[in-house]
Structure 1
Amino acid sequence: MAAPKQKPRIEVVDLSETLEVIFNGATVARSARAKVLFEGTLPPRYYVPAGDVRLELLRPTATKTHCPWKGEANYFSIQVGDKLAEDAVWSYRTPIPEMARIAGLLCFYPERVDKLHLV
């Protein structure tokens, strides 16, 4: 029987720079209020308040995943013109209590957008 996974160290920090997300020539998100989440050996993930995202470019999908350390995530695709990035964005609407700082924020897969950078 496999040993249970040990909880990774998770830290959520306010980002001091502005984060910008570009897809198919459009600025999908620009935020001076983003947070960066560090989780064990995983790459840092940037979480953006919905008010700093062009929500009209997001399409909800049926995809859901569960993380034992954060809770259930819901996914969105990004549609700009005729280009679609499937399941490129996720959000923990109601994460576990320890992760309340990321509740409702949106996180983008860097590899599914054209550019995710700090400005």
Structure 2
Amino acid sequence: MPRPHPTPPGPGQESVWDYPRPPRLERTPARLEIWFGGVKIAETTGGFRVLETSHPPTYYLPSDAFLPGVLVPAGGGSVCEWKGEATYWTLRVGGKTAEGVAWSYERPTPAFAPIAGYVAVYAGRVDECRVDGERVTPQPGGFYGGWVTSNVVGPFKGEPGTLGW
């Protein structure tokens, strides 16, 4: 697979090709908001973002940023070589349900211990996610959970032809 040609970042932008591997965890003061079933189900300025080469940031919100009762344990799981074993969550609001739309690391590896119990959400499986008021675009491909905003440039893992990156 040929090496991708990174898009040069403009003023105020970050290239995902400058993000590290293994990924870096950092606090973010950005206002993170999530809507599902027509309801704002989560909001925080106390989140984290995970930055990994070729991926837009994945945002993790504290579980108490979510409305009570909207997170329901889901079946299944997966393992991340960097963060450990993931727990999946279903969202329920009123009569609307989305299975396995969120995940967390309840007992992450030591490098990611600060996100224990924090929850990430697939932006493409909810009504809307925002970072500082900007509506995000889901990371391409449906497998990864990054949130694309105007301040990050790619190309991004998950787009067609990126499987071998």
Which TM-score band applies after superposition, normalised by the shorter structure? 0.7 to 0.9
Tell me, yes or no, if the aligned pair for 2:87 and 2:104 is still in contact at 8 Å: yes
- 1:84-95 alignment, distance < 5 Å: 84-95=97-108
TM-score normalized by the length of structure 1: 0.88
TM-score normalized by the length of structure 2: 0.64
The match for 1:64 is 77
Q: Give RMSD over aligned pairs.
A: 1.4
| One-letter amino acid of the structure 2 residue matched with residue 84 of structure 1 | T
2:36 aligned with 1:23, yes or no?
yes
Q: Distance in 2 between matches of 1:98 and 1:12?
A: 8
Report deviation, 1:116: 0.7
Instruction: State percent identity of aligned pairs.
Output: 34
Larger radius of gyration: 2
Report deviation, 1:102: 1.3
Corresponding residue pairs, total = 113
Find runs of 4+ consecutive structure 1 residues off by over 4 angstroms: none
The match for 1:34 is 47
Q: Distance in 1 between matches of 2:41 and 2:53?
A: 28
| One-letter amino acid of the structure 2 residue matched with residue 43 of structure 1 | P
Tell me, yes or no, if the aligned pair for 2:22 and 2:82 is still in contact at 8 Å: no
The match for 1:100 is 113
Q: Distance in 1 between matches of 2:129 and 2:49?
A: 13
Report deviation, 1:12: 1.4
Tell me, yes or no, if the aligned pair for 2:101 and 2:125 is still in contact at 8 Å: yes
Report deviation, 1:8: 2.5
Q: Distance in 1 between matches of 2:22 and 2:81?
A: 13
| One-letter amino acid of the structure 1 residue matched with residue 62 of structure 2 | P
Q: Which structure's residues are more often strand, by fraction?
A: 1
Show structure 2 runs of 5+ residues with no match.
1-19, 134-165
